[in-house]
Amino acid sequence: MDRIRIVGGNPLTGSIPISGAKNAALPLMIAGLLTDEKLVLHNVPRLADVSQLQRILGNHGIDITVNGKRRGDDPYSGQTMEIDARVIVDTTAPYELVSKMRASFWVIGPLVARMGEAKVSLPGGCAIGTRPVDFHLDALRALGAEIEIDAGYVLARAPKGLKGAHILFPKVSVGATHTAMMAASLAEGETILENAAREPEIVDVADCINAMGGRIEGQGTSTIRITGVPRLKGAHHSVLPDRIETGTYAMAVAMTGGDVMLSGARADLLDSALDTLRECGAEVTVSNEGLRVKRNGAGISPVEVTTAPFPGFPTDLQAQLMALTTRARGTSKITETIFENRFMHVQELARLGARIHLDGEIATIEGVEKLKGAPVMATDLRASVSLVIGALAAEGESMIHRVYHLDRGFERLEEKLSACGAEIERLAG
């Protein structure tokens, strides 16, 4: 099993290209099930989760072609992916595939909308919380699907098609919003989604469906209106830049000091996180090229943050911010309101010398003057990269184990950081 070795202490300087967003690429790939014509996605990141979803869609009979690198291509430019769902040969998503990636459950919406039926395994457990699918199923029921749960599988049927409905989500859910929006795009009549997720990735998927001939309005607000159409066509769509990758590298720069241009990043996708970074003492400058982040000389200031659905501070940057505040000049407080069990990185950061006290959903971080390198173990995707951030600023060598988590969400992380002066390398086995 691969490990990552880091010798900390080097400031980061240079440029880091921001990849396409994993959290948009996955539902965009699933949206390819909605049409019998080709959907061509550009700027798709090279990630383990993307490869896994390719296998899952292939199980349904979907042909996916990924264009190879061409002469003169930027080595960090995203992939172009052609999704051909002209013939869907199987409407079952088996446990052995769905259990490896929760987002694959979202195939249920497009399958029942287009094919009139779907049999999809319940996703099972998750390291950072239960994340039930009740909201997904309630939305499909509202659209007229018959739902049955049998032997760990959800059987959804709508032989006469789905009908538009008024759906009020009891709690903001990105996954349920994706599922309902995709299913409603082929339903008869109008669907209104209230208390819908506002994340940029929702907007990206809605814009793609509209390019396919869909009629979606209000994406990016809490009320989304969808007028169903009989069929969708093919389209070309470029995946938006990854705001979580952007925020992660911005915090790494703030942690180590230095000056880095995050090329291709968009400030409007993470205003709350950038405001927090500025509070911490980093300088953030927006330009046509992307975001420039630097911290030269000034110390790290403590902050108090509560995670919240977009446009609030993202839960997917909570672990990274915690790593940053371990070296703040004072005490910080982070309240996690989205996922239970999302403080598993705390004990590993403590191995680097961090002082963190947990009380339910609140983490109190007492800043220390220095961290020291140590062997640590990744527990999930975002926890993994928080350990990288901590190790980059720690004295001496750190060894990060179970880095397969990183490969799910960060493209060429070691290459991008080493190009900016980090002493980081991957060790096989």
Among 315-319, 327-331, 379-383, which is the least confidently predicted range? 379-383
Class of the 3-18+241-427 domain? alpha beta
The Cα 240–Cα 364 span in angstroms is 34
Among 21-25, 69-73, 331-335, which is the least confidently predicted range? 69-73
The Cα 172–Cα 81 span in angstroms is 30
Can you name the CATH fold of 22-238? UDP-n-acetylglucosamine1-carboxyvinyl-transferase; Chain (3.65.10)
pLDDT tens-place string over residues 209-263: 999 999 999 999 999 999 999 999 999 999 999 999 999 999 999 999 999 999 9
List beta partners, residue 371. Answer: none
The mean per-residue pLDDT over the stretch 67-82 comes to 74
**Residue 130: what pLDDT?**
46
**Residue 429: what pLDDT?**
73
Among 152-166, 210-224, 372-386, which is the least confidently predicted range? 372-386
For the beta carbon of residue 37, count every other beta carbon within 10 angstroms. Answer: 17
Grade residue 379 by pLDDT with cuts at 50, 70 and 90: confident
pLDDT tens-place string over residues 82-105: 999 999 999 999 999 988 888 899
Grade residue 68 by pLDDT with cuts at 50, 70 and 90: low
Question: What residues form the annotated binding site for phosphoenolpyruvate?
Answer: 22-23
pLDDT of 43 > 70? The answer is yes
Q: Average model confidence (pLDDT) for the chain?
A: 94
Q: Would the CA dihedral through 391, 7, 285, 41 be positive or negative? A: negative
Q: Check 126, 208, 280, 420 and give the catalytic one.
A: 126
Q: What is the edge-to-edge ordering of all strands in the sheet holding 355-359?
A: 304-306, 331-335, 362-366, 355-359
pLDDT of 127 > 50? The answer is no
Contact in structure between 302 and 328 (CB atoms under 8 Å): yes
Fold match flag (3-18+241-427 vs 22-238): yes
Domain boundaries, the chain: 3-18+241-427, 22-238
Grade residue 128 by pLDDT with cuts at 50, 70 and 90: very low
**Residue 190: what pLDDT?**
98
Burial of 125 (0-12, 13-18, 19+ CB in 10 A): exposed
The mean per-residue pLDDT over the stretch 163-189 comes to 97
126 carries an active-site annotation: yes
**Residue 124: what pLDDT?**
62
**Residue 1: what pLDDT?**
81
pLDDT of 167 > 90? The answer is yes
| Amino acid at position 384, single letter | S
**Residue 390: what pLDDT?**
97
Question: What residues form the annotated binding site for UDP-N-acetyl-alpha-D-glucosamine?
Answer: 102, 171-174, 316, 338
pLDDT tens-place string over residues 177-203: 999 999 999 999 999 999 999 999 999
Question: What residues form the annotated binding site?
Answer: 22-23, 102, 171-174, 316, 338
Grade residue 19 by pLDDT with cuts at 50, 70 and 90: very high
**Residue 131: what pLDDT?**
53
pLDDT of 405 > 50? The answer is yes
Grade residue 157 by pLDDT with cuts at 50, 70 and 90: very high
**Residue 178: what pLDDT?**
98
Q: Which tokens go with 65?
A: 């072609």
The Cα 101–Cα 124 span in angstroms is 10
Contact in structure between 98 and 104 (CB atoms under 8 Å): yes
pLDDT of 174 > 90? The answer is yes
Contact in structure between 4 and 249 (CB atoms under 8 Å): no
Q: What are phi and psi of 242, to 5 degrees?
A: -80, 110
Contact in structure between 354 and 365 (CB atoms under 8 Å): yes
Contact in structure between 121 and 99 (CB atoms under 8 Å): yes
The mean per-residue pLDDT over the stretch 346-354 comes to 96
State what percent of residues in the chain have pLDDT above 70: 96
